[in-house]
């Protein structure tokens, strides 16, 4: 009889969930949820910062899983669902509540374009990650797109601008981030960097200066960095196309 089959407990144990990497994923999911709640409460600076926290935690869960050899299919699926909330739903609602609400259908249309672009970007990544060049992402990664939107909100708030006063810039940036995610533009993945390899002392010094620069003015520096990264795909595409024409 099935209820007395001794093989089932063994099968259940083998399909257990690894705790450590999924804790980071849960933390990223909570940060995305927190961003939504704070946006609904009108605390947009907290919402923007929460999205950046989610981005950091999302970057750690995969690395922790690889370092501890705890990768699993469950973890990959859970991470994708968490990304949809933290980098799809949360940024679109934050930018909508802050700047796009008063624009009627154009506001929620732009927010939805961003949201659905995130879903399509994640679905494409999940199906194509084994066949594409590991050194480059196909389309703007969803965490970078979310950081671009959240960084814009954060830096505008820091300068004292209201969402209504910059709503057309917000629409343009939201559409830019969304369409960049579903594009075929190449974005450097930084996966080729070997963290275990020894580096010159100058590299460590420059890394310290880099973090010092971020902490000197987080809103402006982070927004500037991700804006440059968002433009890098277009620059790389243009350079590749020009090289092909000269061959």
Percentage of residues in the chain with pLDDT exceeding 90? 61
Query: Band of the pLDDT at 154, cuts 50, 70, 90?
Result: very high
Percentage of residues in the chain with pLDDT exceeding 70? 87
Query: Band of the pLDDT at 193, cuts 50, 70, 90?
Result: low
* HSE-up of residue 229 (Cα within 13 Å, Cβ side): 26
Of 15-29, 176-190, 216-230, minimum mean pLDDT range: 15-29
- Tell me which CATH homologous superfamily contains domain 14-189+197-246: CDP-alcohol phosphotransferase transmembrane (TM) domain (1.20.120.1760)
Query: Band of the pLDDT at 144, cuts 50, 70, 90?
Result: very high
Predicted pLDDT at 205: 79
Query: Band of the pLDDT at 66, cuts 50, 70, 90?
Result: confident
Residue 94: pLDDT over 50: yes
Q: What are the extents of the domains in the chain?
A: 14-189+197-246
Residue 95: pLDDT over 90: yes
Average pLDDT of the chain, as a whole number: 87
What confidence tens digit (pLDDT) does each residue in 118-134 have? 999 999 988 886 666 77
Predicted pLDDT at 72: 84
Residue 9: pLDDT over 60: no
Predicted pLDDT at 54: 97
Q: What is the DSSP string of 89-151?
A: IHHHHHHIIIIIGGGTHHHHHHHHHHHHHHHHHHHHHHHHTTTS-TTEEES--HHHHHHHHHH
CA distances in angstroms from 214 to 49, 59, 85, 229, listed in the order given: 14, 18, 26, 15
Residue 82: pLDDT over 80: yes
Single pTM value for the model: 0.86
Predicted pLDDT at 69: 81
Structure tokens belonging to residue 22? 């999924």
What residues have CB less than 8 Å from 29, skipping those under 6 apart? Answer: 54, 81, 82, 85, 86
């Amino acid at each position: 009889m099935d209820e007395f089959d001794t093989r089932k407990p063994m099968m259940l144990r083998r399909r257990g969930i690894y705790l450590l990497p999924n804790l980071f994923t849960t933390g990223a999911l909570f940060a995305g949820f927190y961003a939504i709640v704070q946006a609904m409460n009108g605390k947009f600076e907290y919402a923007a910062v929460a999205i950046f926290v989610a981005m950091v935690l999302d970057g750690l869960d995969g690395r922790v899983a690889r370092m501890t050899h705890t990768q699993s299919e469950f973890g990959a699926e859970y991470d994708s669902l968490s990304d949809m909330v933290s980098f799809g739903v949360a940024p679109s609602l934050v930018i909508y509540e802050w700047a796009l609400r008063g624009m009627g259908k154009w506001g929620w249309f732009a927010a939805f374009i961003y949201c659905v672009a995130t879903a399509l970007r994640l679905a494409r990544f999940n199906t194509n990650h084994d066949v594409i060049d590991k050194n480059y992402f196909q389309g703007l990664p969803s965490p970078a797109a979310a950081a671009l939107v959240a960084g814009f909100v954060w830096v505008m708030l820091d300068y004292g601008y209201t969402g209504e006063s910059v709503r057309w810039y917000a629409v343009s940036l939201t559409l830019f981030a969304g369409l960049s995610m579903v594009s075929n533009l190449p974005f450097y993945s930084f996966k080729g960097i070997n963290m275990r390899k020894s580096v010159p002392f100058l590299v460590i010094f420059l890394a310290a200066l880099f973090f010092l620069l971020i902490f000197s003015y987080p809103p402006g520096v982070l927004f500037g960095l991700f804006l440059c990264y968002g433009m890098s795909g277009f620059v790389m595409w243009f350079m590749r196309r020009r090289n092909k024409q000269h061959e």
